[in-house]
Structure 1
Amino acid sequence: MPIRRKGSPVKIQLIWPNPTLTEAANEVFRSRSSNQVQHMDISSVADGDTRILNSAEVTVFLGPEASQLAVIKSITDSLYPKPVVIFNPRWVFEEESSFGELSGFVGSFEVVYSFMGLEVRGILNKRKGVIFKCIRDGVLSGEKWTVLVEEEGELKVVSRFKARPSIGEVENVLYNLMAINSPITKSAKFLRGLVSNVTGKNQDEFQNSELTP
């Protein structure tokens, strides 16, 4: 279904990371050929005249490599103020701080959808989860980054972040959760409670009684 704006279809330019994927896309979509969607590879745009992109109203970079960021920025600057989308980039969030001058360019994009799987292994068990963010209806309204963990076959929310969390922050959340639910921790709590029941006092009361003259 074509994207429409005020009743008219929107022209979209899809830019692929290499000629092989571009050729494959043209083959797949050949039976659905439309003047509203064009396929190009990034090398042909970088080496040629970018004015060919001006006819498109939205440009989408599909699966670009970090090494192609300089070209992406150049193309994006030439298209301003038309919208540009980077879909499924082949770099991780932690790499973005090492992009130098291009870090600011990457940071200028708003994340509208992200779903990243996680797995943290403990001593006796492991936890699977995801980092998730989704902008509904394309309207930014303060959506948070959500960390969900699988419990009893279901994903449950365990934490939310205003800004995109680092892997270290997410690991801390998952490790703390694992520690709380660890059989070792539960056994320690049980033994501490058992001792308190035998003495008839909880730990705080026992400490206070020692301070009583």
Structure 2
Amino acid sequence: MASTFLKLHLQTSKTQIPFSPTHPNYHSHLSFINPNASYNHKFPTLTLHASLISPSTPPSSREEAILQAKTCLSTCLEKPLNNPKLVGKLKKLKQPRFQVEIPLIDDSPSSLAQLALDIFKDMALKRKGSLVEILVLWPDVRLKEAGIQAFESSSSLSHIEHIDLPSVSKNNRILSPSDVAVFLAPEPSQLALIKAISDSLYPKPLVIFNPKWGSEEENGFGDLKGFVGSFEVIYSFMGLEVRGVLSKRKGMVFKCVRDGVLSGEQWSVLVEEDGELKVVSRFKSRPGIEEVENVLYNLMAINSPITKSAKFLRDLVSNVTGKK
């Protein structure tokens, strides 16, 4: 089968982090991109080489990322939404909890609202008998109003209700019956409220989009650490950039659950090589900054001019002496 080549365009913002304290002689910086950041810097065009485009292939554009995330989420929700009502009477069901991470164009309310609209408009949520009711919970009133305005552009979204978390907290409002609850860009300070809402909606599926906390922060959440960790990341891609003394690399960390099967999907680290994005490492769980640093350090060290010169001299000596 002929190979397929895709061009990748990512808009990113860069927060430089020292590359690795374990390698003091290698001066480099790693930029790790937060999905909720404002993306003012655009990656140069990269070519993604793949023999077959599949859900496990990183997206080539924002539109493809939206389609991947939408497909991934709908397939993961299909099973819990179609479970018979009698299931769980003899054994307590595990509440389905999913997390999705997609970079925003910028940090404006309209950007988050547009992302939500793109995801839920025409989403193929399959359930026999009735339309799936979705409750969207926004982190504040301003974002909720932006969301309502965006969703009003489509007459086919009457099954989606919007509410802001401060209103739930202040008025102790009883939430409307829904089949799925979606939390958009929640703040760490709202975690206790989110857990209370989650408990009240049990066993309905929950989804968190672009949380305002990083995985490195979860250890500081105390009693809520287990709750946060119970959300399975089903779709995520995050741009990254490494800058060394003589070279610069772009890439991404990527995960996409296929066919609604939550077990076994790995996290991939892809890095630019000769204009192509190639998988350089895979992890069973989300890699931390240090793990990504080590992978990229080793890759850049191997390909650095100094290392290549040393290898050239070693090979030259080997050819002359006949010894390795």
On whether the aligned pair clears a TM of 0.5, the verdict is: yes
3-state SS of the aligned residue for 1:22? helix
Cα distance in 1, alignment partners of residues 180 and 128 from structure 2: 15
3-state SS of the aligned residue for 1:68? helix
Contact 1:50-1:78 within 8 A present in 2 as well: no
Distance 1:4 1:36, change over 3 A: farther
- The match for 2:312 is 190
1:48 and 2:184 matched: no
Report the CA distance between 1:109 and its aligned residue.
0.8
User: One-letter code of the match for 2:265?
Assistant: E
User: One-letter code of the match for 1:118?
Assistant: L
User: One-letter code of the match for 1:68?
Assistant: Q
1:164 and 2:322 matched: no
1:28 and 2:150 matched: yes
Structure showing the higher helix proportion among its residues? 1
Cα distance in 2, alignment partners of residues 95 and 147 from structure 1: 21
- The match for 1:37 is 160
Higher mean C-alpha displacement, 94-103 vs 2-11: 2-11
Cα distance in 2, alignment partners of residues 195 and 159 from structure 1: 32
- The match for 2:248 is 126
2:303 to 162, 181, 204: 181
Higher RCO (CA-CA < 8 Å; seq separation 6+): 2
Higher mean C-alpha displacement, 191-200 vs 165-174: 191-200
Report the CA distance between 1:80 and its aligned residue.
0.9
3-state SS of the aligned residue for 1:101? helix
TM-score for the superposition, normalised by structure 1: 0.89
1:155 to 255, 266, 277: 277
1:81 and 2:193 matched: no
User: One-letter code of the match for 1:196?
Assistant: S
Instruction: Choose 1 or 2 for highest CA Rg.
Output: 1
User: One-letter code of the match for 2:167?
Assistant: S
Cα distance in 2, alignment partners of residues 105 and 50 from structure 1: 22
User: One-letter code of the match for 2:290?
Assistant: G
* Amino-acid identity (%): 67
Cα distance in 2, alignment partners of residues 64 and 137 from structure 1: 27
1:138 and 2:260 matched: yes
- The match for 1:208 is none
Contact 1:50-1:75 within 8 A present in 2 as well: no
RMSD over equivalenced CA pairs, Å: 1.5
- The match for 2:88 is none
CA offset digits 1:130-163 (Å, max 9, x no partner): 1111112333131011111111222111111111
Cα distance in 1, alignment partners of residues 312 and 132 from structure 2: 63
Cα distance in 1, alignment partners of residues 281 and 153 from structure 2: 45
CA offset digits 1:14-69 (Å, max 9, x no partner): 0111100111111122242543100111111122344323x111000001111111
> Which structure 1 segments of 5+ residues have no match?
203-213
